[in-house]
Amino acid sequence: MKTFTDFNLHLYTDIVYGKDKEKMAGELVKKHGGKKVMLVYGGGSIKKMGLYDTVVSSLKDAGLEIVELPGVQPNPRRSLVQKGIELAKAEGVDFLLAVGGGSTLDTAKAIACAVKFGDNWWDMFSKGAVCTDRLGVGSIHTISAAGSESSTSMVVVDDVERIGQKCSNPSACLRPDFAIMNPELTYSVSKYQTASGAADIFAHTLERYFYNSDCALGDEFAAGLLRTVVKYGPIACEDPNNYEARGELMLCATFSHNDITGIGHSGVRGGPHGLESIISGTYDTAHGAGLAVVMPAWLRYVADFSDKGCARVAKLAIEVFGVTPDLADLKSVAYEGIERFKSWLKRIGMPLTLTELGVENADIDLFIERGRFNADGLFVGYVTMTKDQMRNFYEGIL
């Protein structure tokens, strides 16, 4: 008989979903205790689409003071976080509102947390210190991808000392106070970025599907979400103003990374993110596109690693990609599922090799150097990798 794994799940993010909900920004900031808001955003896209004016008007109408921090880039930078910390302290900011993609929200989360950490915030963060307190944080996201709007995750790239080193630091208190979700705000996202986002969503759920423990309901949540991404990802890429497809992807992004699909599971999970973060951290490539390169190869590695791994990949192939079951030849089932996955990625315009990703003459030695190995010299996930196996892995996706 299967023994369920104990777990705690506290999903306190206030999700406000639908058309024009960005007009509620001021109301929601006040509801969650904000008085002086740092507006965190990237370049000029939110101004071109009119979102900036809408949000600023909402905040002013609510009587809130506003401080701005523009300039967020994909793969959020430590240097901008530091600038934001100094600005937040000088201005007495008590709430951060991120408007844009996952990097914008991760920047806001890092600032909100680091203000409480103190001057040695990066040293604590890079060493995995758990954040137990923060300033208020809200999100209005304009791309369906990272799922940071209701997750415990936060990622920052070091552009100051260890250039290109990506650090992640999940903490329970990093779930935002609220997330405004309007699918129409994602209409202007390019086909490539939409596809990259779909790959990222798939990866977040895939990693929870590959836990070293079982829970039937958790598996069903994960498989259902993956099927939804497979169905609506191509539609959103080909028909960018399709509200249904954009809406489904937006929901998938949020629920792929807020731990719903991992209920009843425990222990070590996944592996693709740990392998990909080295690539995008080093070459500043799109995170989701890098995951598209890594995931099929990782699934092949899992299928070849053990009978248990092969059975799990075969289960994915059957439940998500509709491969006909064959208990007498699970490896063929697993391989067919991987091929169908690769075809889906290719259909939405994602790369399948590092060269297609734009990484030529990849520095495999640097990849190995930046790998997160334990004291026994193993990269630990759903399955393990030695340094030699990791080298072979990266060489196989050149």
Q: Check if the beta carbon of residue 66 is closer than 8 Å to that of residue 41.
A: no
CA 80, CA 68: separation in Å to the nearest integer?
12
CA 331, CA 327: separation in Å to the nearest integer?
9
Q: Check if the beta carbon of residue 186 is closer than 8 Å to that of residue 106.
A: no
Instruction: Decide whether 14-186 matches 200-396 in CATH topology.
Output: no
Domain boundaries, the chain: 14-186, 200-396
Look up the pTM and report it: 0.91
CA 207, CA 158: separation in Å to the nearest integer?
25
CATH fold of the domain at 14-186: Rossmann fold (3.40.50)
CA 195, CA 205: separation in Å to the nearest integer?
16
User: Which amino acid type is present at position 76?
Assistant: P
Question: Dihedral of CA 41/44/48/52: which sign?
Answer: positive
Q: Check if the beta carbon of residue 49 is closer than 8 Å to that of residue 185.
A: yes
Dmax (CA) for the chain in angstroms is: 67
pLDDT per residue as tens, the chain (398 positions): 455 677 777 888 999 999 999 999 999 999 999 999 999 999 889 999 999 999 999 999 999 999 999 999 888 899 999 999 999 999 999 999 999 999 999 999 999 999 988 888 888 888 888 888 999 999 999 999 989 999 998 889 888 987 777 787 788 889 999 999 999 999 999 999 999 999 999 999 999 999 877 788 989 999 999 999 999 999 999 999 999 999 999 999 999 998 899 888 877 778 999 999 999 989 989 999 999 999 999 999 999 999 999 999 999 999 999 999 998 999 999 999 999 999 999 999 999 999 999 999 999 999 999 998 999 999 999 999 999 999 999 999 99
> Which among 270, 272, 291 is positioned nearest to 354, based on CA atoms?
291
* Domain 200-396 CATH class label: mainly alpha
HSE-CB at 55 with a 13 A cutoff on CA atoms is 28
Alpha helices by DSSP H, listed for 66-190, are 78-91, 102-117, 121-126
